[in-house]
Structure 1
Amino acid sequence: MNGTTHQSTVNLGTVPTTWSIVGSGDFNGDAKADILWQNNSTGQRVIWLMNGTAHTSTVNLGTVPTWWSIAGSGDFNGDGKADILWQNSSTGQRLIWIMNGTVHTSNVSLGTVSTSWSIRNY
């Protein structure tokens, strides 16, 4: 994109349909967006580190129970690196994984709300 103008399209390949892109952000501090994925069947979470439009490596964040889903990503603590926002569909709990690059360092609880509420990233 150049402002609101589409400039070009890049094909990143094909992944199984159980994987969903759930966020993007600069996880490794190189000033380029990386891609956050979750496997909706297994609970596995990974980050694709990107160099512009090229996928350079994959960081495995481990497997988390599937009732926890990633609701988005953003720099919640102001360190210049993306953190991960989670929601629990069974309990209504919300929390942030504070990340130091691609390493999960701590949690910040946002409390619990009714399970009829969900965070959406549009």
Structure 2
Amino acid sequence: MRNTTSGLAFAWFLDNGTPVGSQVLFTISAAWKVEAVADFNADGQPDLLFRDSASGVGFAWYTQFSGGALSLGTTSPAMYLIDPVWEVVQAADWNGDGKPDLLFRSATAGVVFVWYLDGTTLLGTDFISQVDPAWEIVPRR
């Protein structure tokens, strides 16, 4: 969870949906948003996809969970620089290679496309569809 005004972020630890603890993680400028959570470095731990809402720069912040505590490790080099009008709808495996890909959508034009990734390296892209911006895309499960 993150306070969008102060930038303070913390994690809630759940056991079958019941909170069993929490931990303060960091404070970061309110311009930075967590756009997705996925295992970008294939270590079995969820990583945070951050994006600067002003510049459009995005990167992964790798995490480790051990002994009941979450620690933030290194960050990836910038994964992308894309106009802030594009939003990440979901990080999920779209091409069946077992690695997370990014589904983007233009908030103004409704264009939807996928970036196929190998970790944080872009392999290719595909146009998916154009959807009226009034419609919300619900991430697949």
Instruction: Provide TM-score, normalisation by structure 2.
Output: 0.78
Could you tell me whether the CA contact under 8 Å between 1:44 and 1:63 is conserved in 2?
yes
- Matching residue within 55, 66, 71 for 2:72: 55
Find out whether 1:88 has 2:106 as its counterpart.
Answer: yes
Query: Could you tell me which residue of structure 2 aligns to residue 37 of structure 1?
Result: 50
List alignment gaps of at least 5 residues for structure 2. Answer: 1-13
State the Cα distance separating 1:33 from its structure 2 match: 0.5
Find out whether 1:68 has 2:86 as its counterpart.
Answer: yes
List alignment gaps of at least 5 residues for structure 1. Answer: none
Could you tell me whether the CA contact under 8 Å between 1:23 and 1:72 is conserved in 2?
yes
Instruction: Provide TM-score, normalisation by structure 1.
Output: 0.89
Query: Which string of whole-angstrom CA distances, capped at 9 and with x for unpartnered residues, describes residues 59-97 of structure 1?
Result: 111311111111121122232221111001232110111
Query: Could you tell me which residue of structure 1 aligns to residue 19 of structure 2?
Result: 6
Tell me the number of residue pairs that the alignment of Structure 1 and Structure 2 aligns: 121
Could you tell me whether the CA contact under 8 Å between 1:73 and 1:85 is conserved in 2?
yes
Query: Which protein shows a greater Rg?
Result: 2
Find out whether 1:109 has 2:109 as its counterpart.
Answer: no
Q: How far apart in 1 are the matches of 2:23 and 2:121?
A: 28
Bigger strand fraction: 2
Partner of 1:22, secondary structure, is: strand
Higher relative contact order (CA closer than 8 Å, sequence separation 6+): 1
Query: Which string of whole-angstrom CA distances, capped at 9 and with x for unpartnered residues, describes residues 12-71 of structure 1?
Result: 110100111111011111111111111111111111111122111111113111111111
Superposition RMSD on alpha carbons, in Å? 1.5
